[in-house]
Amino acid sequence: MMNQLKKILLIAILLILLLAGGSFGLANIYFKQAEVRVKSWQLMGQIASNEDYRQAMAYVNDALLFHPGHNQYLEIKAQILEWGADEGFESSRSTALQQAKALYLQSTASRPTWPNTWAALAMLKWRMQEFDGEMLMYLNNAFNTGKNAKEVKLAYQSLGEVLKQFYPDLYKQIEANINYYQTGL
């Protein structure tokens, strides 16, 4: 009787693990489909079509359905929303960008030392035309967690020029970090 109970318990545990593993595997397949689309948009400089955009969004939503809260899935959805906002596939650009920001922030909650997310948030603030202390915080977090990451360098180089020209008070607050990239270190 005890052996029978152990077997049933073991089978139940194995089934749960099998379902979880299958769910995460399926989520990754959907994620990869969405990621391929975003990478193709980056190469082309535009979204191929409204259908392509909708399909990418469906893939990432399916990925999040099977593995909710996964950092990479949240971030690819944020990128898709940014593309959709910029290309006019979202009815409200500002709402889509706010949603993207919320997704990036959700990702940083469980992965605060990931520099690319902080750099993406800083660049998103530029898209939103929000030049403020929050943008500087994102830039500083990116620098402090991964100053040698190419995305961080790009964020500093891109935003540094804008801040220097139009927001000199903000520029002064991150000038030392910007100088790090100008010295070639």
Sign of the four-CA dihedral 47, 129, 121, 98: negative
Tens-place pLDDT, residues 152-164: 999 999 999 999 9
- What's the confidence (pLDDT) of residue 183? 75
Q: What is the pLDDT of residue 16?
A: 75
Report d(CA 124, CA 158) in Å as an integer: 12
pLDDT digits (tens, 9 = 90+) for 73-124: 999 999 999 999 999 999 999 999 999 999 999 999 999 999 999 999 999 9
Query: The tokens of 99 are what?
Result: 């949603």
CB-count exposure of residue 164 (10 Å: 0-12, 13-18, 19+):
middle
Give the whole-angstrom CA distance, residue 74 versus residue 68: 9
User: What amino acid is encoded at 65 in this protein?
Assistant: L
**CB burial class (10 A; 0-12, 13-18, 19+) of residue 33?**
middle
Place of tokens 């993207």: 100
CATH superfamily of the domain spanning 27-182: Tetratricopeptide repeat domain (1.25.40.10)
Max CA pair span of the chain: 79
Coil/strand/helix, residue 158: helix
Give the long-range contacts of residues 174-183, CB within 8 A, separation 24 or more.
174/136, 174/139, 174/140, 174/143, 177/139, 177/140, 177/143, 177/147, 180/143, 180/147, 180/156, 181/153, 181/156, 181/157
Q: Taking the model in full, what pTM does it have?
A: 0.88
